[in-house]
Amino acid sequence: MTAHPMPPSPLLQVRDLRTWFDTFGGVVKAVDGASFDVGRGEIVGLVGESGGGKSMVGYSIMRLIDPPGRIAGGRILFDGTDLCGLDERALRKIRGREIAMIFQDPMTALNPLYTIGDQLDEMLRLHTGLSARERRLRCIEMLHEVGIPQPEARLGNYPHQFSGGMRQRVVIAIAMIAGPRLLIADEPTTALDVTIQAQLLRLMKHAVEKRGASLILITHDLAAVSQMADRIVVLYCGRIVERGRARDVIERPRHPYTRGLLDSIPHQGLKRRRLSQIPGTVPDIRKLPPGCAFAPRCPMAAPVCRESAPNLVGGPSGHAVACHFPLEAKAA
């Protein structure tokens, strides 16, 4: 490794990423020209509705896109290395060791046939040269860190002997045990009870911070992101509509879509409701309108919005927005 020039470059640089799916109904542009950075030790929230392409960004970074999907363009620079140019062998050295990923459903994220000790150990066997005893200690330590009581005894248990929240803790332990520098969490708490969502988010934040690792939190839950993330990227129909420091985006949203998402968060203490403030639904991504994809649902759409798509304007680290009529800075 060469010394990094000052200031240190971001850990992950996604540039003009295009993840397309070739289907009979035409090319589905699940991600179409997304660019963003993840700094070292930074937590970035990737936000949007279902079908917005946010999961596909995570899968693309992991190079998990299977046919008929493909990365049609762009670069994914991880610590200077373009992940798009790596072959399977090289990727296997990155996956798990450098970049780890957590999925939505803890009920199926663990193999039902192996003990959790075995599944934790698999990561260490794969990515470290530790002895069996050292690995065991590391596993116990890791389970302890994610808040599993009596870790020694629990190592020999099977996934079905854990509750959903406990399983997601185990999943986090498995993801973090090999010491990755980037964790991608794809809707990590969506399948869980609301009461433990916050606990697990905090746990993930601690685990990442302790190691100086970065975190990409993919979620539709803007409220969760606003408490955790340093920066927020808002995706709509495969394109980034707004990007900036968490505080700026939450307090001074400039895109009507972000504004709509924020407005649809109920006030503290109330039960969450369905998103109802944004009229209409996410359009069929195969038949996007020629102009701004959000125009059909946008309260302030003008004729120009239906003709030409706005570009993302603003510096890569500043507050950028893709809108012909960005909202004026005002408190949300």
* Chain residues in the site for other proteins (CB under 8 A): 62, 64, 66-67, 88, 91-97, 99-101, 103-105, 108-113, 122-123, 126-127, 171, 174, 178
Shortest spacing between CB 107 and other proteins, in angstroms: 9
State the minimum distance, in angstroms, from the CB of residue 68 to other proteins.
Answer: 9
Which one, 88 or 328, has the nearer CB to other proteins?
A: 88
- Rounded CA separation 317/230 (Å): 12
The residue count of the chain comes to 332
Write down the least CB distance from residue 167 to other proteins, Å: 11
Smallest distance, other proteins to C-beta of residue 283, A:
26
In terms of Cβ atoms closer than 10 Å to its own Cβ (0-12, 13-18, 19+), residue 75 is middle
Evaluate whether 322 touches 255 at the Cβ level (below 8 Å): yes
Of the two residues 123 and 312, which places its CB atom closer to other proteins in the complex? 123
DSSP lists the bridge partners of residue 47 as 219, 234
Nearer to other proteins, 164 or 296 (CB): 164
Smallest separation, CB 163 to other proteins (Å): 17
Residue with smaller CB distance to other proteins, 101 or 320: 101
Q: CB of 110: closest distance to other proteins in angstroms?
A: 6
Residue nearer to other proteins on the CB measure, 182 or 320: 182
DSSP per-residue letters across 193-230: -HHHHHHHHHHHHHHHHHHT-EEEEEES-HHHHHHH-S
Return the number of the residue (110 or 148) whose C-beta is nearest other proteins.
110
β-pair partners for 102: 185
Q: What's the maximum distance between 2 C-alpha atoms anywhere in the chain?
A: 68
- Smallest gap, in angstroms, from Cβ of residue 73 to other proteins? 22
Q: What strands, in cross-sheet order, belong to the sheet with 182-186?
A: 99-102, 182-186, 214-219, 43-47, 231-236, 239-245, 320-321
Q: Which of 68/290 has CB closer to other proteins?
A: 68
Q: How far is the CB of 82 from other proteins (least distance, A)?
A: 18
- Enter the tokens of residue 154: 């629990």
Exposed, middle or buried, 276 (CB in 10 Å: 0-12/13-18/19+)? exposed
CB closer to other proteins out of 105 and 251: 105
* Euclidean distance between CA atoms 84 and 76, whole angstroms: 6
CB of 91 to other proteins, least distance (A): 8
Sheet (strand 12-23) strand order: 26-38, 12-23, 69-78, 81-82
Instruction: State how far the Cα of 329 lies from the Cα of 332, in Å rounded to an integer.
Output: 9
- Measured CA to CA, the distance from residue 263 to residue 133 in angstroms comes to 53
> CA 180, CA 206: separation in Å to the nearest integer?
14
**Which residues, 6+ apart, have CB-to-CB distance to 1 below 8 Å?**
none
Of residues 105 and 263, the one with the C-beta less far from other proteins? 105
